[in-house]
Amino acid sequence: MVHVIRASGSRRIHHNSSTIFSSCQGYRIIITLEPKETIAFLQAFMTSAPLGLAFLDRDLRFQSVNPAFADLIRVPADQPSGCPLRDVLPELAPQLEPLLSHVLQTGIPVVHQEICGGSSPVTGKHHHWNVSGFPVVEDGHTVGVGLLMLKPFREERQEPNGNVQRLRAMLAHSPVAAAALDPDGQVLAVDSEDRRFMGYTMEDFAGPLMLQRVHPEDFDAVYGLFQELKRTPGREITREYRTKHQDGSWRWVEMRAVNRLDDPEVGALLVYYQETTERKAMEVHLRHEAYHDPLTHLPNRTLFIQRLEESLRKDPLPSGFLAVMFIDLDGFKVINDSLGHSVGDDLLVEVSYRFLRSLRTDDTLARMGGDEFTILLENVQRVDEAVEVARRILRELGQPFLLDGREVHISASIGLTLAIPGTARTSDLLRKADIALYEAKKKGKSCYEIFDLSMNERAWRRLELESDLRKALERQELRVFYQPVIDLHTGRVIALEALVRWEHPERGLLLPLEFIPLAEETGQILEMDFWVLETAAQDVSRLRSQYPEYADLSLSVNFSALQFRQSRLADRIRTALDDAGLPTGSLKIEITEQILREDREMITKQLQALKDLGIRLSIDDFGTGFSAMQTLRHLPLDVLKVDRSFTRELMSHAHPPREDEMEILRKIFSFGKALGMSVTGEGIENLEQLYELRNMGCRMGQGYLFAKPQPYEQVKNLFELSSSGQPIPLGAGPGLLHQNGNGS
Taking only the tens place, the pLDDT of each residue in 494-505 is 999 999 999 999
Q: What is the pLDDT of residue 584?
A: 94
**14 pLDDT exceeds 80?**
no
In whole angstroms, what is the distance from residue 331 CA to residue 445 CA?
9
Q: Which amino acid is at 197?
A: F
Q: What is the pLDDT of residue 551?
A: 92
Q: Name which of 23-27, 182-186, 407-411, 471-475 the model is least confident about.
A: 23-27
Helix ranges (DSSP H) in 191-313: 202-206, 216-231, 277-291, 301-313
Q: What is the pLDDT of residue 119?
A: 53
More confidently predicted of 438 and 124 = 438
Query: Sorting pLDDT into bands at 50, 70 and 90, what band is 12?
Result: very low
> Residue 154's CB: how many other CB atoms inside 10 A?
20
- Mean pLDDT for 448-458 is 79
**Contact yes or no for 143/106 (Cβ under 8 A):** no
Over residues 130-168, the pLDDT tens digits come to: 788 888 888 888 899 998 887 655 444 444 456 788 888
In the sheet that holds 141-155, the strands lie side by side as 62-65, 52-57, 141-155, 126-138, 110-119
Q: What is the pLDDT of residue 598?
A: 66
In whole angstroms, what is the distance from residue 314 CA to residue 335 CA?
41
Query: Sorting pLDDT into bands at 50, 70 and 90, what band is 728?
Result: low
Q: What is the pLDDT of residue 387?
A: 92
In whole angstroms, what is the distance from residue 237 CA to residue 254 CA?
11
- Mean pLDDT for 396-424 is 88
Q: What is the pLDDT of residue 526?
A: 92
In whole angstroms, what is the distance from residue 450 CA to residue 417 CA?
6
Rg (CA), the chain: 44
Q: Name which of 343-347, 444-448, 724-728 the model is least confident about.
A: 724-728
Query: Sorting pLDDT into bands at 50, 70 and 90, what band is 405?
Result: confident
**For 99-137, b where at least 16 C-beta lie within 10 A, e where not — what string?**
bbeebbeeeebbbbeebebbeeeeeeebbbbbbbbbbbb
- Mean pLDDT for 56-63 is 93
Residues whose CB falls within 8 Å of the CB of residue 269, separated by 6 or more in sequence, listed in order: 180, 181, 182, 183, 229, 230, 257, 258, 259, 260, 261
Q: What is the pLDDT of residue 626?
A: 47
**530 pLDDT exceeds 50?**
yes
Most confident of 189-193, 375-379, 459-463, 680-684: 375-379
Query: Sorting pLDDT into bands at 50, 70 and 90, what band is 372?
Result: very high
The pTM of the full predicted model, rounded to 2 decimals, is: 0.50
Percent of the chain's residues with pLDDT above 90? 37
In whole angstroms, what is the distance from residue 189 CA to residue 168 CA?
6
Most confident of 57-61, 149-153, 691-695, 704-708: 57-61
In the sheet that holds 250-260, the strands lie side by side as 187-190, 177-181, 268-275, 250-260, 236-244
In whole angstroms, what is the distance from residue 19 CA to residue 17 CA?
6
